[in-house]
Structure formats: C-alpha cells, structure tokens
Amino acid sequence: MKIIPVPCLEDNYSYIIIDEETREGAAVDPVEPEKVLGVSKENDVELKLVLTTHHHWDHAGGNEKMKQLVPGIRVYGGSLDNVKGCTHKVENGDKLSFGSDIHILALHTPCHTKGHISYHVTGKDEEDPAVFTGDTLFVAGCGKFFEGTAEQMYQSLCVTLGSLPKPTRVYCGHEYTVKNLQFALTVEPDNVRIAQKLSWAQKKREASLPTVPSTIEEELETNPFMRVDLPEVQEKVGCKSPVEALGEIRQRKDNWRGCLRIRL
C-alpha cells in the first residue's frame, strides 16, 4: 500500500491510496478532481472509489466533478452527513475494500460535523495501518466543534482514534501543524516533545514539504487535545475532568491569535 498526499486549495490535503499490486486506488476528499486525477495518472493508478470524511465544501466539493470525470466511481460518505455526490453511505464499523488486499474500516468521529467519518486503512495482513482523519484530528490539533460537543470530540479523539495501534499513521485534512504546535506549547510549555516536533515541522514547511503523516503515538505525546486524560494537563488548564479540559483547550485555541511569547 502506498499513500500520496495531494496538496489542494490553500492548505487542504487530498490523498491517493494505492494498491501497488493491482494499481487500483482510492481518493480521499478530492476537492480538486483534475489535480488528483493528474497525480493518479502520473502514478499509473486507476481510481475506483472516493472516501469523503465530511460534508464541508473543501472536502466534498469535488465529488460531483469526480463522478463526471470517472464514470462509475463509488463515492462514500457518512450516513449522517449530507455529503455532496455520495453514492454509498457508510456507518460506524462498515468495512470496504479495493485492489487485492486494501481494507478500509469506517469510524464515526463526530463533533466537527455530526456525521464525520475517519477511515482506517490497512494493507495485506493488516500491515502499514493508516487513518484518514479529515477535520477531526489534525497533527497536534483538532477541528472546531461546529456540530457537536466536547464530550463527542473526546470520544472521537481519545477513545476511537486514541485506541488505534500507536504506529498507525495519521493523515489529516489540513496543513495546520506549525500553528497547532505553537499553540500546544502555550498549554504545555515544558513539553520537550512538542518543542522538538515544532522545530521539525518548521523546517519541513520552509522546504515546502508536508508535515503528514504523524502517528497516533506522536499525537499522544504532543497533541494537547489527546492528552486531556493526564492529570497534569487538566491541572494546567484549571479543569478536573478530561472532557472539561478538552473544552477549555478548544476555547483557548478558538481565541488564540498565534502570538507565542518565548520565555528567555
């Protein structure tokens, strides 16, 4: 299994998942269909399906055009989301496959939208696990609570996604990593892993390279929204429960303007 990030719009990512044996592929959130198809052709890949994480236009807005350009392509989306161009609705726990050995598990991860789906993908013998998290989980961050609650985001991040195997690669919907890590340092200024990853991410972006994928293990070390079970994180934000802490951190992030004060 091979995964190719395709930068789209200003800071979005679409992805192409490739079964290297059959050269069949799946496109995740192909908001710019011509660009995604161009990359697939360059890699001799025949796209068979579209995996849509949620209904927002910068993720689902290319589905109708993709159906015109690739007649018969299957377009998947969450059953509770009104996903544009959807041909196949999926529920939590639904299983899909393509190629000779690519397996996909739909995970309902609501809050950003009520029907948001993350897609857990594995190759042969469940090797090389990856998860496509749309706007639920970002590198060192999470999506805004547009259609849900802190409790739902806690379940989506810390229970559903947080319980995946630690080596699982995380492919998110936007390139927000540098700002997310800068904010994470305001929550945990003494977390060395956050500082190290911020330095790494800044170098990546200076070289115009993506900061995806992360891993579930890295997120548990550096993402404040996935660290709210830790008493020390709850204490830092003045909260007494994981859900309360997650809500408080999200509110702080919503009001944060990116002005990081460096302590000398």
What are the tens digits of pLDDT across the range 17-63?
Answer: 999 999 999 999 999 999 999 999 999 999 999 999 999 999 999 99
- Whether 108 sits among the annotated catalytic residues: the reply is no
Catalytic one among 54, 108, 116, 120?
A: 54
pLDDT score, position 263: 35
Asked if 112 is an active-site residue, the reply is yes
Q: How confident is the model at residue 203 (pLDDT cuts 50, 70, 90)?
A: very high
116: annotated active-site residue: no
29 with 12: CB under 8 angstroms? yes
The pLDDT tens digits for 67-125 are: 999 999 999 999 999 999 999 999 999 999 999 999 999 999 999 999 999 999 999 87
Which residue in the list 19, 29, 55, 56 is annotated as catalytic? Answer: 56
Residue 64 confidence (pLDDT)? 98
120 is catalytic: no
56 catalytically annotated:
yes
Contacts 24+ apart (CB under 8 A), 185-189: 185/260, 186/252, 186/256, 186/260, 187/224, 187/233, 187/236, 187/237, 187/249, 187/252, 188/224, 188/227, 188/233, 188/236, 189/263
21 within 8 A of 52, measured Cβ to Cβ: no
Q: Where residue 261 falls among pLDDT bands split at 50, 70, 90?
A: very low
Options 19, 55, 59, 116, the catalytic residue: 59
User: Per the residue annotation, which of 108, 112, 116, 120 is the catalytic one?
Assistant: 112
Render pLDDT for 138-184 as a digit per residue (tens, 0 to 9).
999 999 999 999 999 999 999 999 999 999 999 999 999 999 999 99
Domains of the chain: 2-255 (3.60.15.10)
Q: Exactly one of 108, 116, 120, 174 is catalytic; which is it? A: 174
Catalytic residue among 58, 81, 108, 120: 58
Q: What is the pLDDT of residues 72-86, one digit of tens each?
A: 999 999 999 999 999
> pTM value?
0.96
How far apart, in Å, are the Cα atoms of 104 and each of 35, 42, 232? Answer: 24, 24, 36
Euclidean distance between CA atoms 161 and 111, whole angstroms: 13
How much is the mean pLDDT over the chain?
A: 96
Q: What share of the chain in percent tops pLDDT 90?
A: 95
pLDDT at 264: 29
Q: How far apart are CA 54 and CA 58, in angstroms?
A: 9
The answer to whether the CB of 15 falls within 8 A of the CB of 51 is: no
Q: What is the pLDDT of residue 260?
A: 46
Read off the pLDDT band of 126 (50, 70, 90).
Answer: confident
First vs last Cα of the chain: how many Å apart? Answer: 46
The answer to whether residue 55 is catalytic is no
